[in-house]
């Protein structure tokens, strides 16, 4: 499994038989590497997975789906919205559901946040409830993208049901967990082999780096895989 970070919460995950794109906020993302283009990222993508409807997460999902033919998986409201934008290859889901798409299964979990789009101006368009996403490849470790969320005690059930080994965890504070609560979530509720922090450094109002998070992780700090945007790890 190869995990590439494009800044904010946007990730490309390459597994056997599929290439996934999570929350592809690329255009307008201050952290997106200037050496890359949206077309570069879109190449080979087979599935686009969206945690919620905020514009800094849906991002370039529609243009990438049109360019690549990738399937968009998200909650019902987001997939219906995508269909109205001309996307036919959709996979609508709801919280708690699991769908086998061939190379992997995908499950939506709860997340404590909101979900809407301001792309059309005010008032915002309602786009369902926010989610976390668990991807379980056939022969590789399960990966859990938490989306934007606060800590919540039912994370223990997510771990019990799905046993993710790779966690993509928001740490930037203000709109999501900050360093302290993100570290607490990882240590109390999960048995991650690898923790990939995200949703920080994109805008001045967010925490700018992983230093506080790594400090809060304490003896588990060795599990944290900090990357610069455009960087990648293999697990």
Domain holding 138: CATH number?
A: 3.60.15.10
| Count of structural domains within the chain | 1
Q: What is the mean pLDDT of residues 85-114?
A: 98
Q: What is the mean pLDDT of residues 100-113?
A: 98
For residue 160, what are its two tokens?
A: 């019990």
CA atoms of 44 and 230, how far apart (whole Å) = 17
Q: Note the helical H segments in the chain.
A: 38-42, 55-58, 61-68, 76-84, 155-162, 179-189, 211-217
SS3 of residue 221 by DSSP: helix
Find the domain containing 100 and state its range.
2-234
pLDDT for the residue 51: 99
pLDDT for the residue 93: 98
Query: In which band, very low, low, confident or very high, does the pLDDT at 112 lie, cut at 50, 70 and 90?
Result: very high
Question: Residue 227, Cβ neighbours under 10 Å: how many?
Answer: 18
CA atoms of 146 and 155, how far apart (whole Å) = 10
Q: Are the CB atoms for 72 and 90 separated by under 8 Å?
A: yes
pLDDT for the residue 72: 98
């Amino acid at each position: 499994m190869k995990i590439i970070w494009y800044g904010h919460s946007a990730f490309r995950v390459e597994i056997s038989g599929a290439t996934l794109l999570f929350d592809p906020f690329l255009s307008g993302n201050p952290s997106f590497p200037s050496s890359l283009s949206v077309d570069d990222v879109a190449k080979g993508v087979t599935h686009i997975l969206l945690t919620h409807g905020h514009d800094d997460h849906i991002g370039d999902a529609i243009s990438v789906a049109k360019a690549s033919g990738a399937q968009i998986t998200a909650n019902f409201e987001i997939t219906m919205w995508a269909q109205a934008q001309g996307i036919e290859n959709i996979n609508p889901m709801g919280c708690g559901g699991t769908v086998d798409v061939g190379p992997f299964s995908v499950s939506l979990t709860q997340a404590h946040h909101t979900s809407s789009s301001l792309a059309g101006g005010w008032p915002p368009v309602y786009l369902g409830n926010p989610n976390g996403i668990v991807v379980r490849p056939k022969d590789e470790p399960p990966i859990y993208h938490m989306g934007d969320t606060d800590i919540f005690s039912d994370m223990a059930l997510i771990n019990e049901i799905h046993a993710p080994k790779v966690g993509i965890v928001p740490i930037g504070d203000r709109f999501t967990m900050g360093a302290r609560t993100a570290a607490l979530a990882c240590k109390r509720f999960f048995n991650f082999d690898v923790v990939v922090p995200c949703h920080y450094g994109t805008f001045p109002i967010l925490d700018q780096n992983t230093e506080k998070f790594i400090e809060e992780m304490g003896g588990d700090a060795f599990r944290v895989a900090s990357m610069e945007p455009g960087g990648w790890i293999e697990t």
